[in-house]
Amino acid sequence: QVKISDLEGKAIGLYFSANWYPPCRNFNKVLIGVYEQLKSSGSNFEIVFVSSDEDLSAFNSYRESMPWLSIPFSDLETKKALNRKFEVEGIPYLIILQPDGSTLHDGVELIYRYGIEAFPFTEEKLEELRREERMKHESQTLTNLLTNPGRDYLLDQIMTRKVPVDSLIGKTVGLYFSAQWCFPCAKFTPKLISIYHKIKQSLEGKGGSEDFEIVFVSNDRDQSSFDSYYGTMPWLALPFGDPIIRTLAKYFDVQGIPCLIIIGPDGKTVTKQGRNLINLYQENAYPFTCAKLELLEKEMEEEAKRLPRSNYHAGHRHELTLVSEGNGGGPFICCDCDEQGSGWAYQCLGCGYEVHPRCMRAVDPATAASVQHT
C-alpha cells in the first residue's frame, strides 16, 4: 500500500484501461517502456491504474504486468467517480494531473507520438515538440525519411537486390504500412496492387518525368510472414525489422493499418489519407494533390446530378436514398465493399445502411424485399 500523500508534488498519470480490450494491451506495452525509462532517470512521475476489468482475476492478471500503482479493484465507488469526473468515454485513456492543478487529457496520443520526450507533459514542452515536428516536416526529404546510417537502399522483389533510396527522388511515393496478420490489409492489398499497375501503365503512356512507386513498411511479426506477404507485392520494401519502421510510424502518427502515406516529388507529405483516396477514386486519385482532389470532387458532384434520387440495392431490403455531406451523408463505411467513403452515398434512412454509388447494384423492389439480411 502506498499513501496518497506520497504522490504530492508529482505529475500523475491516471490510466483507464482493461485487460479484455486489445488496444489497451497494445498501449500498455508502450506505456511500460516509457514509464520505466522515466523512473530510471529519476523523473518525478507516477501512474495510477483505474481498472475497467470485469472480475478480480482479470484485474490481477493485468496488474501483474504493470510496474505502477492502482486503485484497488474492490473500490468501485472511486473508479466510478474518476470516470464521471474526467468524462471517460473510451479506453485506453491517460490523463496527466500536474502538481499545479492543470490537467492534460490526451496522454495516450502523446505517449504514442513522442514517447519519453513528452515528459513533463507541460504545455511549454508540448509546444517545443510540435515546433520541432513542424521543422522536421518542412525539411523532410525521401532520403532522410527512408535511410539510416547503415542503410541507403530498399529491397525489390528479388529480395537480395538493393535499390538506392535516391533513385526515388522526383517520384510520387506511397509508404504502405501493412501486415499479413491484419484482415483489413488482406482485403486492401489486392486492390492497391491493381491500382498500382493501372497508375504505372497510365504514366507509361504519357511519357515525361512523372513516376509512381510504393514502399512496403512492414508491421509483420516475423521474417517468414514478411517474406510471404511481400512476395505478393510488386513494389519496393524496407527490410523487415528495420529501426526506421518504428520511427516512420511515430513520425506520421500512424494509428492503424492499412495506411498509405503519399510523398510528393519534392519529398514533402502530400496526404496521409492515401487509402481513403484509393477507395474513393481508384487510379484517378493519382497524384493525390489538393488540385487533383478538387477536380475529382467536382466531377463527382456532376455525376451525382445524373444518379437516381433513390433506388433498391441487391444487398439490402429497404429503399436507399442518395445523400451527400450537405443532407445527411458524410464519412461512412460502405456496407457492400467494407471500405471507407465520403461525400455521396446511397443510404437507408431507416436503418443507416450505406453504400458507395459505384457499389450500388440496382434491383426491383420485389427482389430487394426478398433479401434476408439488413
Instruction: Give dist(CA 38, CA 111) in Å, integer.
Output: 12
3-state secondary structure of 66: coil
pLDDT digit string, tens, across residues 315-336: 888 888 888 766 655 667 788 8
Alpha helices (H) in the chain, listed in sequence order: 22-40, 56-63, 76-85, 107-114, 123-138, 142-146, 183-206, 223-230, 243-251, 274-281, 290-305, 365-369
Residue bearing the bigger pLDDT, 44 or 337: 44
Residue 308 pLDDT > 90, yes or no?
no
Encoded amino acid at 338, one letter = D
Fold of the domain built from segment(s) 142-294: Glutaredoxin (3.40.30)
pLDDT digit string, tens, across residues 79-126: 999 999 998 888 999 999 998 888 888 889 888 888 888 888 888 888
Provide the whole-model pTM: 0.64
User: What pLDDT score was predicted for residue 288?
Assistant: 92
Instruction: Give dist(CA 343, CA 27) in Å, integer.
Output: 33
Whether residue 111 contacts residue 23, with contact meaning beta carbons closer than 8 Å, is answered with: no
Banded model confidence at residue 233, pLDDT cuts 50, 70, 90: very high
Residue 374 pLDDT > 50, yes or no?
no
User: What pLDDT score was predicted for residue 330?
Assistant: 64
Residue 246 pLDDT > 90, yes or no?
no
Cis peptide before 92 (omega within 30 of 0): yes
Tell me how crowded residue 129 is: count the other CB atoms within 10 A of its CB: 14
Tell me how crowded residue 179 is: count the other CB atoms within 10 A of its CB: 18
User: Distances in Å between the alpha carbon of 25 and those of 20, 65, 113, 185, 266?
Assistant: 8, 10, 17, 21, 39
The three cell numbers locating residue 303 = 455525376
User: What pLDDT score was predicted for residue 81?
Assistant: 94
Kind of pairing between the strands at 69-70 and 45-51: parallel
**Averaged pLDDT for residues 265-271:** 92
Instruction: Give dist(CA 111, CA 127) in Å, integer.
Output: 15
- Delimit the domains of the chain by residue range: 4-132, 142-294, 305-370
- From the list 19, 12, 160, 30, the residue with the least C-alpha distance to 98 is 12
User: Out of 3.40.630, 3.30.70, 1.10.10, 3.30.60, which CATH number does the structure's domain 305-370 have?
Assistant: 3.30.60
The three cell numbers locating residue 372 = 434476408
Q: Do domains 4-132 and 142-294 have the same CATH topology?
A: yes
Banded model confidence at residue 195, pLDDT cuts 50, 70, 90: very high
- Superfamily designation of domain 4-132: Glutaredoxin (3.40.30.10)
